[in-house]
C-alpha cells in the first residue's frame, strides 16, 4: 500500500470519535494501514495536537472493538495523528493542506496518496470539494480520493446537482459515497450465500419465492439528532440508502466477476427495475408513522414532537414501510416488503426470504395446523446469523409436523472479535482504492428516483393520524395491514 495522508474534515465530530478513529486504530493493529501514514483531524476548534491525541485515545478506549489493546499500541499509533485548525472558507487553511501534502510526498515519495474524509454536515461538502479542487489537492485521480458521508442529496434533484458539480471537478473513481451498511460482514455475506452455493440460486426466483421482507428496526429514539431528523425522516434516512442496498443484494443477478463496476452495474439494474409508483397508488404501497409519547423500559418516553429541536407540529415520519416490486423476469410479481423505524419493539435488522408453500395434500389434516412454508432469515445486526426454516416430523406415533430452524451463527465470542466493523472494511477499501462497496453516482440517483413519488405525496399531503404508534410497538397498525392484505405477516427473530 502506498504511503497515505488522511485528512478527516469534522475530526472533532461524533462520527470521527465513535467510528473513524477507532476503525483506523483496529486497522493499524491488524497491519492493514500503509507503512507510512498520517491522520490529520481537521476542525474549527483551536486545539493542540496533544489535546486532540488525548481525546482520540479516550474515544478508542471507549469505542474501539479491541480497546483492551489501547495501551499496547497507542504510543506508536498516536505518533501518526495530528490536528489542523481549519476554516472551511479560508484559502489559508487549504494552502496549509497543500504544503502538508507536498512535504508528505517529499518525505515518502511520489507514490504517496491523499484521502479526504468529509465527515461534516452534507451542506458543507460542496464548499470543501470546490476548495480542494481549486488548490489542486485532488488533481491526480490515481492518488487522491474523497469520501462523502450520507445523506448524499436530499432528493433526486439535489443528488443530481451534487453529482454534476462533483463530476466537473473530479473523476468518478475518486468519489467514494459511503453507505456503511455495505461494509457489514453479514451484508457482504449475502453474495457468498447466494453465489457460492449451488443450493439457493436455482430456486432464487419468482417460481419458488413468495415474498421478501427487510426489517431495519431500532429501539432508540432520534436522541439528540432532532435538527438533522427534521430535514430527513425514516424514508430518506434509512430506505433510500441502507434498505434499498440490502434489497439490491438480495435481488441482483449473478455478477460475472467481483470487479467494482460489475457488482455496481448489477445492483443498478435492480434499482432501475423497481416499479414506478404513480402518486395515486402511493397510499397502497407505503405507510408512514411517527412515535407518540409512551413508556420505554419502565420509563416515560417523549414523543417525537416533544424531542429537542423538533417542531411540536412536525409531520416528519419516524417509521416507514414500503412494498416494492422488481419488475424483471426473476422477480415477476414477488413483493419486497421493507420497514424501518425508531423506538420499535426490538433492535434488529433482518432479511426474510419466504418460499412458496409446499403442497400438503398427502399429509393428514392435523399436519396442516403447523404447516409453514420454508423461510430463510438472514440476521444482519445485532444477531448475525442465517436460519433456514423447514418442516420436520415431531417425534411420536402420529404424523405431526413442526417447523424447525437450522442455524448458522457468527455468534461465538471469538469470531465476533475477529469481525471488522463496517467502517474498518470501508476505510481499508478507500485506502486500497477499491470502490466496490461504495455508491456510484447513478446508483444514488436511481435510489432517490425509487422513493421520489412517496416523498412527493407525503410532502404534499400532511398525515392525519400523527403520532400513530407508541414506543416499544412495531409501528403503526397500517404497516401490519400493508402486508396482511396480501396474506402475510412481518417476521421477527425468535427470542432465544
Ligand atoms: P457532528 O455534528 O458530530 O460533527 C460535525 C463536524 O463538522 C464537527 O467536527 C464540526 O466541528 C464540524 N463542522 C461543522 N460546521 C463546520 C464549519 N462551518 N467549518 C468547519 N467544520 C465544521 O456530526 P457527525 O455525527 O460526526 O456526522 C458527520 C457526517 O457523517 C454527517 O454528514 C452525518 O450525516 C454523517 N453520519 C454520521 C453518523 C454518526 O453515527 N454520527 C452516521 C452516519 C452518517
* Percent of the chain's residues with pLDDT above 90: 84
The reply to whether 400 and 452 lie within a common domain is: yes
345 Cβ contact partners less than 8 Å away, ≥ 6 residues apart: 217, 219, 472, 473, 474, 492
Is the residue at 357 inside a domain?
Answer: yes
Contact call for residues 238 and 344 (beta carbons, < 8 A): no
E strand or H helix that includes residue 180: none
Is the residue at 226 inside a domain?
Answer: yes
User: Is 237 labeled as ligand-binding?
Assistant: yes
Angle between helix 91-108 and 125-134 (nearest 10) = 60
Which tens digit of pLDDT belongs to each residue from 8-47? Answer: 999 999 999 999 999 999 999 999 998 899 999 999 999 9
Q: Which of 321, 351, 320 is nearest to 251 (CA)?
A: 351
Which residue's CA is minimally distant from atom 1 of ligand 1?
13
Question: Is residue 57 scored above 70 in pLDDT?
Answer: yes
Which tens digit of pLDDT belongs to each residue from 415-426? Answer: 555 678 899 999
Is the residue at 171 inside a domain?
Answer: no
Which of 97, 124, 149 finishes a domain? 149
Sheet with 385-393, edge to edge strand ranges:
286-289, 319-325, 335-341, 209-217, 348-355, 375-381, 385-393, 401-409
The reply to whether 338 and 254 lie within a common domain is: yes
Task: Mark whether 242 is an active-site residue.
Answer: yes
What is the predicted pLDDT for the residue at 130?
96
Which residue's CA is minimally distant from atom 41 of ligand 1?
15
Is the residue at 44 inside a domain?
Answer: yes
User: Is 130 labeled as ligand-binding?
Assistant: no
Show the domain range for 265. Answer: 185-420+440-485
Burial of 31 (0-12, 13-18, 19+ CB in 10 A): exposed
Q: How far is the CA of 94 from the centre of ligand 1 (A)?
A: 19
The reply to whether 244 and 323 lie within a common domain is: yes
Which of 89, 122, 149 finishes a domain? 149
Contact call for residues 442 and 430 (beta carbons, < 8 A): no
Q: How far is the CA of 348 from the centre of ligand 1 (A)?
A: 26
Burial of 130 (0-12, 13-18, 19+ CB in 10 A): middle
The reply to whether 115 and 209 lie within a common domain is: no
Q: Which of 91, 100, 73, 87 is nearest to 7 (CA)?
A: 100
What is the predicted pLDDT for the residue at 414?
52
Please report, for residues 79, 107, 114, 134, 135, the alpha-carbon distance to residue 110 in angstroms, rounded to integers and kept in the order given.
22, 9, 11, 21, 18
The reply to whether 105 and 213 lie within a common domain is: no
Is the residue at 164 inside a domain?
Answer: no
How many domains in the chain?
Answer: 2
Q: Pick the catalytic residue: 17, 86, 154, 242? A: 242
The reply to whether 80 and 217 lie within a common domain is: no
What is the predicted pLDDT for the residue at 417?
59
SS3 295: strand
Is the residue at 154 inside a domain?
Answer: no
The reply to whether 260 and 350 lie within a common domain is: yes
Q: How far is the CA of 357 from the centre of ligand 1 (A)?
A: 48
What is the predicted pLDDT for the residue at 364?
84
Question: Is residue 48 scored above 80 in pLDDT?
Answer: yes
CATH of the domain at 120: 3.40.50.720
Contact call for residues 51 and 26 (beta carbons, < 8 A): no
Which tens digit of pLDDT belongs to each residue from 322-377? Answer: 999 999 999 999 999 999 999 999 999 999 999 999 988 888 887 778 888 999 99
Ranges of beta strands (E only) in 277-431 are 286-289, 294-296, 299-301, 319-325, 335-341, 348-355, 375-381, 385-393, 401-409
Is the residue at 332 inside a domain?
Answer: yes
Which of 149, 165, 193 finishes a domain? 149
DSSP string, 346-387: S-EEEEEEEEPPPP-TTS-HHHHHT----EEEEEEESS-EEE
The reply to whether 203 and 132 lie within a common domain is: no
Contact call for residues 21 and 65 (beta carbons, < 8 A): no
The reply to whether 214 and 301 lie within a common domain is: yes
Pairing mode, strands 4-9 and 37-43: parallel
Q: What is the pTM for the complete model shown?
A: 0.94
CATH of the domain at 280: 3.30.360.10
Ligand 1 pocket mutation, candidates 88, 96, 120, 154, criterion most atoms within 8 A of CB: 120
The reply to whether 229 and 94 lie within a common domain is: no
What is the predicted pLDDT for the residue at 70?
82
User: Is 184 labeled as ligand-binding?
Assistant: yes
The reply to whether 189 and 145 lie within a common domain is: no
The reply to whether 395 and 276 lie within a common domain is: yes
Q: What is the mean pLDDT of the chain?
A: 94
Which residue's CA is minimally distant from atom 43 of ligand 1?
150
Ligand 1 pocket mutation, candidates 121, 178, 421, 426, criterion most atoms within 8 A of CB: 121
Q: How far is the CA of 7 from the centre of ligand 1 (A)?
A: 14
Is the residue at 21 inside a domain?
Answer: yes
User: Is 342 labeled as ligand-binding?
Assistant: yes
Give the dihedral sign, CA 290/216/405/345.
negative
Cβ < 6 A, ligand 1 pocket:
10, 12-15, 43-44, 88, 119-122, 124, 149-150
319: confidence class by pLDDT, cuts 50, 70, 90:
very high
Q: How far is the CA of 227 from the centre of ligand 1 (A)?
A: 13
Which whole number is the average pLDDT over 195-214?
97
Amino acid at each position: 500500500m502506498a504511503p497515505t495522508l488522511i485528512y478527516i474534515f469534522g475530526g472533532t465530530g461524533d462520527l470521527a470519535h465513535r467510528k473513524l478513529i477507532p476503525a483506523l486504530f483496529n486497522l493499524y493493529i491488524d497491519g492493514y494501514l500503509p507503512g507510512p501514514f498520517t491522520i490529520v483531524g481537521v476542525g474549527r476548534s483551536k486545539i493542540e495536537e496533544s489535546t486532540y491525541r488525548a481525546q482520540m485515545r479516550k474515544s478508542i478506549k471507549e469505542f474501539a472493538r479491541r480497546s483492551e489493546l489501547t495501551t499496547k499500541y497507542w504510543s506508536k499509533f498516536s505518533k501518526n495523528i495530528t490536528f489542523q485548525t481549519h476554516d472551511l472558507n479560508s484559502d489559508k487553511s487549504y494552502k496549509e493542506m497543500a504544503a502538508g501534502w507536498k512535504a508528505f510526498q517529499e518525505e515518502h515519495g511520489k507514490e504517496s496518496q491523499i484521502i479526504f474524509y468529509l465527515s461534516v454536515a452534507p451542506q458543507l461538502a460542496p464548499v470543501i470539494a470546490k476548495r480542494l479542487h481549486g488548490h489542486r489537492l485532488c488533481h491526480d485521480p490515481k492518488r487522491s480520493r474523497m469520501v462523502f458521508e450520507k445523506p448524499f442529496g436530499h432528493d433526486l434533484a439535489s443528488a443530481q446537482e451534487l453529482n454534476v458539480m462533483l463530476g466537473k471537478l473530479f473523476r468518478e473513481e475518486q468519489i467514494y459515497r459511503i453507505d456503511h451498511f455495505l461494509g457489514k460482514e453479514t451484508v457482504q455475506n449475502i453474495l457468498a450465500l447466494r453465489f457460492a452455493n449451488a443450493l439457493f440460486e436455482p430456486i432464487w426466483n419468482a417460481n419458488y419465492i413468495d415474498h421478501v421482507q427487510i426489517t431495519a428496526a431500532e429501539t432508540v429514539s432520534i436522541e439528540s439528532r432532532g435538527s438533522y431528523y427534521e430535514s430527513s425522516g425514516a424514508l430518506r434516512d434509512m430506505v433510500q440508502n441502507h434498505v434499498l442496498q440490502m434489497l439490491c443484494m438480495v435481488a441482483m443477478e449473478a455478477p460475472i466477476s467481483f470487479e467494482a463496476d460489475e457488482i455496481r452495474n448489477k445492483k443498478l439494474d435492480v434499482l432501475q427495475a423497481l416499479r414506478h409508483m404513480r402518486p395515486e397508488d402511493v397510499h397502497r404501497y407505503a405507510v408512514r408513522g411517527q412515535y407518540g409519547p409512551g413508556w420505554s423500559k419502565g420509563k416515560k418516553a417523549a414523543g417525537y414532537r416533544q424531542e429537542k429541536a423538533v417542531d411540536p407540529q412536525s409531520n416528519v415520519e419516524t417509521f416507514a414501510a414500503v412494498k416494492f416490486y422488481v419488475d424483471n423476469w426473476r422477480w415477476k410479481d414477488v413483493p419486497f416488503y421493507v420497514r424501518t423505524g425508531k423506538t420499535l419493539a426490538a433492535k434488529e435488522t433482518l432479511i426474510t426470504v419466504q418460499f412458496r408453500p409446499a403442497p400438503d395434500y398427502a399429509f393428514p389434516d392435523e399436519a396442516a395446523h403447523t404447516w409453514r412454508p420454508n423461510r430463510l432469515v438472514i440476521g444482519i445486526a445485532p444477531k448475525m446469523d442465517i436460519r433456514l426454516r423447514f418442516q420436520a416430523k415431531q417425534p411420536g406415533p402420529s404424523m405431526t409436523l413442526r417447523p424447525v430452524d437450522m442455524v448458522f451463527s457468527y455468534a461465538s465470542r471469538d469470531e465476533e472479535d475477529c469481525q471488522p466493523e463496517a467502517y474498518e472494511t470501508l476505510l481499508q477499501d478507500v485506502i486500497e482504492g477499491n470502490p466496490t462497496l461504495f455508491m456510484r453516482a447513478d446508483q444514488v440517483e436511481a435510489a432517490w428516483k425509487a422513493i421520489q413519488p412517496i416523498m412527493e405525496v407525503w410532502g404534499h399531503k400532511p398525515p392525519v393520524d400523527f403520532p400513530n404508534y407508541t414506543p416499544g410497538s412495531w409501528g403503526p397498525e397500517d404497516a401490519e395491514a400493508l402486508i396482511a392484505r396480501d396474506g402475510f405477516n412481518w417476521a421477527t427473530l425468535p427470542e432465544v
